[in-house]
Amino acid sequence: MNASSPSSSQERPQATICLLREEDLAAADRILRLAFGTFLGMPDPLQFMGDADYVRTRWLADPSAAFCAELSGELVGTNFATRWGSVGFFGPLTIRPDLWDRGIAQKLLGPTMELFDRWGIHHAGLFTFASSTKHIGLYQKFGFWPRFLTALMDLPVRVQGSAFSANGARFSELPLSEKEPCLKACRELTDSIYEGLDVAREILAVDNQKLGDTLLLWDGSALAGFAVCHVGAGTEAGSGKCYIKFGAVRSGLQAAREFQRLLEACKAFSNSQGVETLMAGVNLARLDAYREMLQAGFRATRYGVAMQRNGDAGYNRPDVFLIDDWR
Ligand SMILES: CC(C)(COP(=O)(O)OP(=O)(O)OC[C@H]1O[C@@H](n2cnc3c(N)ncnc32)[C@H](O)[C@@H]1OP(=O)(O)O)[C@@H](O)C(=O)NCCC(=O)NCCS
- The CA 13 to ligand 1 mean position distance, Å, reads 15
Half-sphere exposure of 135 (CA within 13 A, CB side): 22
- For ligand 1, whether the C-beta of 327 sits within 6 Å is no
Q: Render pLDDT for 61-87 as a digit per residue (tens, 0 to 9).
A: 999 999 999 999 999 999 999 999 999
pTM of the model: 0.95
Residues 6 or more apart from 244 whose CB is under 8 A from it? 227, 228, 229, 266, 278, 279, 280, 323
- As a residue count, the chain comes to 327
What gap in Å lies between CA 27 and CA 187, rounded to an integer? 35
- For ligand 1, whether the C-beta of 95 sits within 6 Å is yes
Q: Render pLDDT for 2-42 as a digit per residue (tens, 0 to 9).
A: 444 444 546 788 999 999 999 999 999 999 999 999 999 99
- For ligand 1, whether the C-beta of 101 sits within 6 Å is yes
- For ligand 1, whether the C-beta of 80 sits within 6 Å is no
Q: Is the pLDDT of residue 1 over 50?
A: no
- The CA 90 to ligand 1 mean position distance, Å, reads 15
Contact between 123 and 194 under an 8 Å Cβ cutoff? The reply is yes
Q: Render pLDDT for 42-67 as a digit per residue (tens, 0 to 9).
A: 999 999 999 999 999 999 999 999 99
- For ligand 1, whether the C-beta of 134 sits within 6 Å is yes
- For ligand 1, whether the C-beta of 138 sits within 6 Å is yes
Nearest CA to ligand 1 atom 3: 94
Give the atom of ligand 1 at the shortest distance from the alpha carbon of 92.
Answer: 47
β-pairing verdict for 123-128 and 87-95: parallel
DSSP conformation class of 219: E
pLDDT band at 162 (very low <50, low <70, confident <90, very high): low
Give the chain's mean pLDDT.
Answer: 94
Q: At what angle do helices 255-272 and 287-295 cross, to 10 degrees?
A: 50
Contact between 198 and 85 under an 8 Å Cβ cutoff? The reply is yes
Q: Is the pLDDT of residue 280 over 60?
A: yes
Q: At what angle do helices 176-193 and 200-209 cross, to 10 degrees?
A: 140
Query: pLDDT value at position 11?
Result: 79
Report, as an integer, the average pLDDT of 109-129. Answer: 98
